[in-house]
Amino acid sequence: MEAKNLRVSRQRLKFSLERMAKIGATDGGGVHRLALSDEDKQARDLFLKWLKELDLTVRVDEMGNIFGKRKGRSPRLPIVLTGSHIDSQPQGGRFDGILGVMGALEVLRTIQENHIETERPVMIVNWTNEEGTRFPPAMAGSGVWTGTLNRDWVYRQADIQGKKLGGELARIGYKGRQPARKWPVHAYYELHIEQGPILEKEGKRIGVPRGILGLNWYDVDIEGKANQVGPTPMEGRNDALCAAAEMILKVNELPGRMGENLVATVGEIHNSPNSRNIIPGRVHFTVDIRSWDDDLSLRAWEELKRDFGRISKKRGCPTILAETWQVEHASFDESLVKRVGETAQRLGFSTHFMVSGAGHDASYVNQVAPAAMIFVPSIGGRSHVEVENTKWEDCEAGANVLLHCVLQSALEK
């Protein structure tokens, strides 16, 4: 068959996604497949089995990133890379990340069964720990691979139980030998669900992101004075949770104060000792600030630091702030963005140009190679939750756009 007439198989893509969704399936219809957990290992094992059935050259690097390469006529030319991530949020959805990995697999299966020869090698990737929910930071596998994050620093990152990322990588058998180091990439494409409401609202099939917002993560630790709640008068208390409550509202109000061109969220909090009859003695919470305007994000944090300082003093609760992770906004390669839009239109799909509020490995890859993404609608704009959903026909449409973008880049000399 002529390459331009190729189409992926919706049934096979659906089967792969449904099979993966069984690993870490939750009662509420989502998945719980945290990075480097037993569920992540099971999904990786299945992914590897499927890669080997396709006769790809498979390698696992020291960050646990999994690559599968299909030969091209010119093995020395920079490759075309496509993929996403297998890990999920806690009680997360069945499409975030895995659609980009199964979509890429479907593309390779389609190219392979039709005996299409490409000029350049085509490679599929599963990046380790994209979510960053168990081990901050997010996008850790791609961040080390591109040379932006330090491998040993990432290995030392610990989860809430104190388990280190490096140790967990070895425990599940995915601490590979290959150095996690970038090599020349001609084009990187990542298929993903939108994770927001815009495509549905606009009634459009394919989202064409021009780039990704900058992400800024912070950690806040508040020290109060724990005590018995009954006998301790209200006056003179050092209640760490009350200090946190005031600070969290400051975070929520910040975008309104600064002109709305950013979003700011506290998503994780740990209160200690977390007993109904003890005044909270210690609180840890996280802050996530995102904007296309990197300076605005930094100014927002400066503003918060001042607010937090005032609250900490007023409540007599010393507070430690840590700047955990920062990624500047990513502006994708214009010619690849154009290609995604034109390819979608040629295939008969309506398109909408936008920016991504969610972080993706494409953000790091974009720092070292031309990158672009393909979005498909999220039903009800819901993501990172069990009800996350996307129509199968939209998954198929996105995979077909991916197929033809990959083919165009891989046929280039």
Q: How far is the CB of 362 from ligand GLV (least distance, A)?
A: 11
Q: How far is the CB of 154 from Mn ion (least distance, A)?
A: 18
Q: What is the CA radius of gyration of the chain?
A: 22
Q: How far is the CB of 392 from ligand GLV (least distance, A)?
A: 22
CB nearer to Mn ion: pick between 142 and 343:
142
CB nearer to ligand GLV: pick between 289 and 317:
289
Q: What angle do CA 323, 329, 334 make, to 5 degrees?
A: 165
CB nearer to ligand GLV: pick between 138 and 226:
138
CB nearer to ligand GLV: pick between 241 and 358:
358
Q: Where are the beta strands (DSSP E) in 333-391?
A: 351-356, 371-376
Q: Under rule CB under 6 A, how many of the chain's residues touch ligand GLV?
A: 4
Which of the choices ligand GLV, Mn ion, none does residue 106 contact, using the CB cut-off of 5 to 8 A by kind? none
DSSP-assigned letters across all residues of 338-374: HHHHHHHHHTT--EEEEEESS--HHHHHTTTS-EEEE
Q: Which residues of this protein are in contact with Mn ion, per CB under 5 A? A: 96-97
- Residues numbered 11 to 30 that lie near ligand GLV (CB under 6 A) are none
Q: How far apart are the C-alpha atoms of 203 and 193, rounded to whole Å?
A: 15
62, 131, 168, 386: which one binds ligand GLV (CB under 6 A): 131
Structure tokens given for 167: 């140790």
Residue in the structure block whose two tokens are 């150095």: 179
**353 in helix, strand or coil?**
strand
122, 149, 208, 358: which one binds ligand GLV (CB under 6 A): 358
Neighbours of 236 (CB within 10 A): 8
Which DSSP letter does residue 158 get? B
Which of the choices Mn ion, ligand GLV, none does residue 359 contact, using the CB cut-off of 5 to 8 A by kind? ligand GLV
123: contact with ligand GLV by CB under 6 A:
no
Sign (positive/negative) of CA torsion 399, 401, 404, 409? negative
Angle between helical axes of 98-113 and 10-21 (0-180°, round to 10):
140
CB nearer to ligand GLV: pick between 169 and 215:
215
359, 370, 377, 398: which one binds ligand GLV (CB under 6 A): 359
Q: What angle do CA 152, 221, 320 make, to 5 degrees?
A: 80
8, 60, 124, 138: which one binds ligand GLV (CB under 6 A): 138
Q: How far is the CB of 267 from ligand GLV (least distance, A)?
A: 9
Instruction: Give the interface with ligand GLV as residue ranges (CB under 6 A).
Output: 131, 138, 358-359
